[in-house]
Amino acid sequence: MDTQARKERIEKMIAMEETFHTFEELPLPERFRKLAEWAATHLSAADQEWIYQQWQQVLERSIEEPSVESAL
């Protein structure tokens, strides 16, 4: 990956992080829907596939782990 491509990818990841924080207060299904829309318009197909895999892993972990609120 050349320097310019690496810079663009980092900038996209920073933008995605900012977008994630913007949607953080939404219910999880709505948050994923909005983030998927963002990814479809800002990321390449390969980057979308990678990020969807990451989201799937996060979702699976959140289902498997008891939440802090329910433990109280």
- DSSP H/E element including 34: helix 28-42
Q: What is the pLDDT of residues 40-54, one digit of tens each?
A: 888 888 888 888 888
Cβ atoms 35, 12 nearer than 8 A: no
Dig out the tokens for 27 from the structure. Answer: 């219910």
Predicted confidence at residue 72, as pLDDT, reads 53
Q: What is the pLDDT of residues 54-68, one digit of tens each?
A: 878 887 887 877 655
Q: Which residues contact 60 (CB under 8 A, 6 or more apart)?
A: none
Q: What is the mean pLDDT of the chain?
A: 80
Q: How far apart are CA 28 and CA 31, in angstroms?
A: 5
Look at residue 1 and tell me whether its pLDDT is greater than 80: no
Taking the domains of the chain in order of start, what are their residue ranges? Answer: 3-71
Amino acid at 71: A
